């Protein structure tokens, strides 16, 4: 067991994949000599060479196009986009080619690439550096969307994403990169994709979240426990394909659900979960589903950022309201 933070867990997972699979290679802006803007790839070029840890031009479209071509020819590229706000330049290749290659070739070809990007707010970054675009990618058939919430999740889920035969969007919560450390077994063991994890058991209300927001959600569950409210907390982890069964099982037990995410409210992925509950879990619900989200605005700068992001009290307040509803 090695104690590491989330960015170190990403680094260890990439190193393990490079060391144990010659088809794996990394590409992105400043990932080699400089080790990446957040240092997620530090030391990897020196260890594995410039042919496998490739510094690219400042051209996200080219990075995505090269990754698709590499994947189509049997390699397993892991492409880094420096900030999720720059990820939109990749959409042509990701949507029109990566996500469709298996269907277009009628199963004769696949596209085993991973597109990594820091995601979300909380570090007082300038505009375009605090995006939460998970719902956009979750809408595209043929893509997996994965967001880790801890170092151990990052390690295991990233290895699973690299081994997956189809394209994976892997969004790493920037705020969690160095927020805390935990022990991680650097043994190459992957975590399962396409499943939700029960982060905390409870009986009174189900709280559903992912990524960095899981920590405010767990803190809210702790605060509510002091009031006698036992909240069950679900870490979605893989947004697409969504493990709706775990969420439905929890709501069947608790009868209430609050969904928490930092992305803007309208069209956010929480709405998809709420729709699934309406379609398949309506008779389990004793109160309307509530969402605690970011606002329909660009993430503000500096101190206003904390007003945008859902906090413990906003989450706890939503839980109290759903408990009071009949």
Please report the pLDDT score of residue 124 as a whole number. Answer: 86
Give alpha helix (H) positions in 60-111.
60-72, 91-96, 101-104
CA 318/CA 206 separation, integer angstroms: 12
* Fold: same for 2-184 and 197-324: yes
Please report the pLDDT score of residue 300 as a whole number. Answer: 85
* Fold of domain 197-324: Rossmann fold (3.40.50)
In residues, how long is the chain?
326
Got the DSSP string for 133-171?
-HHHHHTSTT-EEE---SHHHHHHHHHHHHH-SS-EEEE
**Regions in the chain scoring below 70 on pLDDT:** 326
Please report the pLDDT score of residue 326 as a whole number. Answer: 66
User: What is this structure's pTM?
Assistant: 0.97
- Interior CA angle at 147 toward 143 and 153, to 5°? 125
For the annotated catalytic residues, the residue numbers are 129
CA 46/CA 68 separation, integer angstroms: 25
Domain boundaries, the chain: 2-184, 197-324
Please report the pLDDT score of residue 25 as a whole number. Answer: 98
Q: Are 306 and 216 in contact (CB under 8 A)?
A: no
| CATH code that applies to domain 2-184 | 3.40.50.970
CA 154/CA 237 separation, integer angstroms: 10
Give, in order, the Cα–Cα distances in Å from 185 to each of 4, 45, 152, 189.
Answer: 10, 23, 8, 8
CA 4/CA 186 separation, integer angstroms: 10
């Amino acid at each position: 067991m090695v104690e590491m933070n989330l960015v170190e867990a990403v680094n260890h997972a990439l190193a393990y994949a490079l060391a144990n699979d010659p088809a794996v290679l990394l590409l992105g802006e400043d990932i080699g000599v400089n080790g990446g803007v957040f240092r997620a790839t530090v030391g990897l070029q020196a260890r594995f060479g410039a042919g496998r840890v490739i510094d690219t031009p400042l051209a996200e479209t080219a990075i995505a196009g090269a990754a698709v071509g590499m994947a189509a020819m049997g390699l397993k590229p892991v492409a880094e986009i420096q900030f999720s706000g720059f990820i939109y330049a990749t959409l042509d290749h990701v949507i029109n080619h990566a996500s469709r290659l298996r269907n277009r070739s009628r199963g004769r070809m696949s596209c085993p690439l991973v597109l990594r990007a820091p995601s979300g707010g909380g570090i007082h970054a300038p505009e375009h550096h605090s995006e939460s675009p998970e719902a956009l990618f979750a809408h595209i058939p043929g893509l997996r969307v994965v967001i880790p919430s801890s170092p151990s999740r990052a390690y295991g889920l990233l290895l699973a994403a690299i081994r997956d035969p189809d394209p994976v969007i892997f969004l790493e919560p920037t705020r969690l990169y160095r927020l805390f450390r935990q022990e991680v077994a650097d043994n190459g063991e992957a975590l399962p994709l396409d499943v939700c994890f029960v982060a905390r058991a409870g009986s009174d209300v189900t709280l559903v979240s992912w990524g960095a927001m899981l920590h405010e959600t767990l803190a809210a569950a702790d605060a509510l426990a002091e009031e006698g409210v036992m909240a069950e907390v679900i870490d979605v982890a893989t947004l697409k394909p969504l493990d709706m069964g775990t969420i439905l099982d929890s709501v069947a037990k608790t009868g209430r659900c609050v969904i928490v995410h930092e992305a803007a409210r309208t069209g956010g992925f929480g709405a998809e979960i709420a729709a699934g509950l309406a379609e398949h879990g309506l008779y389990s619900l004793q109160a309307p589903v509530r969402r605690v989200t970011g606002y329909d605005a660009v993430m503000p700068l500096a101190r206003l950022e904390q007003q945008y992001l859902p906090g413990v009290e906003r989450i706890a307040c939503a839980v109290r309201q759903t408990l009071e509803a009949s």
